[in-house]
Structure 1
């Protein structure tokens, strides 16, 4: 039984993980029962034609109701199905279910960087991470860095935490063609100007005010500063707009969510993709940008070097360091081209097919352990 009820309507975060993993599990012949929201039934039926898709009550669209249903109604639904393992892909799990359980913990920054999370989420997901590490038969994390942080901060036992890297959907993320690039440039309203791209939720741990200030420092000493485009949904960071207002010499665009089919052109046509995060459980935009043929600048924290390897460029998270790294890359097109070429090759090492195979191994192991 796979619990897809936590997937948000905009498909970000856990939605990207679930929507990419489930079709590969289905193609690999995994017998799937998928519990999801009523409005997602047709979506998962089309995505996973071999699966049995089950609708949860409509009221779980509200998070508090969903959390209650997970502990009350979901165990009853599980008990009515012929399933061997329950996979909860977003920190929490149905405590009353007697079936073997697997839980995915996406990052450990609730412990290592509590200041970058809203207090309610920090308390909720921090507590559930510890509970799932204790109660689940297996926990899956997307990077060795996340496993090590959970061992350090949450008392996880390393042998009960399985590292499974996320993948890249190359049908979506690939080197773009000229027509798709022109459509995205028209959407952004930047004509033929150069731009630096960011993709992700605009939240404190993405460190975007420092990126904006870095661009302002560049604007003080050169006239050819590219447009800065911050694409993604708004989180709870209230300081980004203040940083933009204090940088009048920088052209910053915030287009919000871009359609999935426009992301390859957006990332691939950028001079570089900047991802100055203070810490990630994986850092999917880094490897997706590489798959699109873009040079990537990120930070050397937590999982990011694990994902970017020796292909990405790295900077400390302060504005002066970011500015210096951006300027060096802008002035070295040969290096950017080499990073782009090697990035495409590196992205091929991260596939959802391999991730699904690893999940299958874990499911089988957990089922055998409990029989």
Structure 2
């Protein structure tokens, strides 16, 4: 079997979408007799995968050209049996297809995308969910959502969970990078809570900032809120909220994996206030680093984090402020056992079976 995997998101710093594919590829070894081809944007370093995969670079870093023209050409050129893409499928694909759909947030929450992005997703994601031979998603919550929203047969949807890289762990107290990230991002010796999230409306950052300011003003405690993640889209309200916070809120922008691990290790707690997710990797990464987590009380967080001790209503500023108070003023512990329930190797093995099922379907 010859499998082509569209991994154009590698190197684009897209958060969970990129993490899913990096994690899957780290745990995947093609079965004997199978050949896997990674279709990658030019200029991206993928040397770590060259021992197990054939690397093919796209000629153009254009999403329209990639989906409408180039993927079809590559499938024919390399005699691909199964093509695996993310969210969108080429029209009239010349082989069997698998599509990863992480979530359908755009179907449920107004005004979290630009009008053009909303229309594109509305047309192309629904097409992919209906036409793909197999659909991959990252939680039972998202599987049910895809079935309900698009009428997709549940038998052709497979849940392939996210996981956490083994690099996320508790660092030695004297690890040099602990002080380096504090100096680099202007945290100095202050205590802080951390939120790991791209800056976009679904992540609920302005409400988190208001809740943090409310807690800080009421208690007078000199803590900071460190928000880790790159600017994605529609982030003007977030930047305004930060500017109104009198240096109590720090935006780091994109950070390296090593920097993220150090920031999580140094934090007093992690708050994850997202109002809609397909999975949500950052809370697990924080737990792996020994940092307690307060997460949105939404169905997928209950599924992924299960018996985590601390959940809050993401639409309630007072509830978020109370969660922050609990993280900073009580002896919260990270439930590291939750992290061990997820494995990139296990997820990669499931995905290989999805490819075989698609080929035979």
> 1:322-361 maps to which residues of 2 (within 5 A)?
322-333=320-331, 336-337=332-333, 340=334, 342=335, 344-361=336-353
Relative to 1, partners in 2 of residues 1:50 and 1:246: Cα closer, same or farther, differing over 3 Å? closer
CA distance in 1 between counterparts of 2:257 and 2:137 reads 25
> 1:214-225 maps to which residues of 2 (within 5 A)?
214-225=211-222
CA distance in 1 between counterparts of 2:122 and 2:265 reads 36
1:23 to 21, 26, 32: 26
Q: Give TM-score scaled by structure 1 length.
A: 0.90
> 1:278-357 maps to which residues of 2 (within 5 A)?
278-317=275-314, 318-333=316-331, 336-337=332-333, 340=334, 342=335, 344-357=336-349
2:51 alignment partner in structure 1:
49
Give the gaps of 5 or more residues in structure 1: none
Aligned residues: 353
- Cα drift, residue 232 of structure 1: 0.6
Q: Secondary structure at the match of 1:25?
A: coil
CA distance in 2 between counterparts of 1:23 and 1:108 reads 26
> 1:194-233 maps to which residues of 2 (within 5 A)?
194-233=191-230
1:182 to 2:174 alignment: no
> 1:236-255 maps to which residues of 2 (within 5 A)?
236-248=234-246, 251-255=248-252
CA distance in 2 between counterparts of 1:51 and 1:39 reads 17
1:363 to 350, 355, 361: 355
Q: Give TM-score scaled by structure 2 length.
A: 0.92
1:267 alignment partner in structure 2:
264
1:154 to 2:156 alignment: no
Which is worse superposed, 189-198 or 23-32?
23-32
Once the two structures are superposed, residues 250-305 of structure 1 have per-residue CA deviations (whole angstroms, 9 ceiling, x without a partner) of 61111111111121111122111011011111111111111111111111114121
1:112 alignment partner in structure 2:
108
Once the two structures are superposed, residues 134-173 of structure 1 have per-residue CA deviations (whole angstroms, 9 ceiling, x without a partner) of 1100000101111122222222222221111111111x21
The runs of at least 4 aligned residues of structure 1 exceeding 4 Å deviation read 27-30
Give the gaps of 5 or more residues in structure 2: none
Q: Secondary structure at the match of 2:275?
A: coil
- Cα drift, residue 366 of structure 1: 1.2
Whether the 8 Å contact between 1:176 and 1:269 is mirrored in structure 2 is: no
RMSD: 1.8
The structure that is helix-richer by fraction is 1
CA distance in 2 between counterparts of 1:27 and 1:45 reads 17
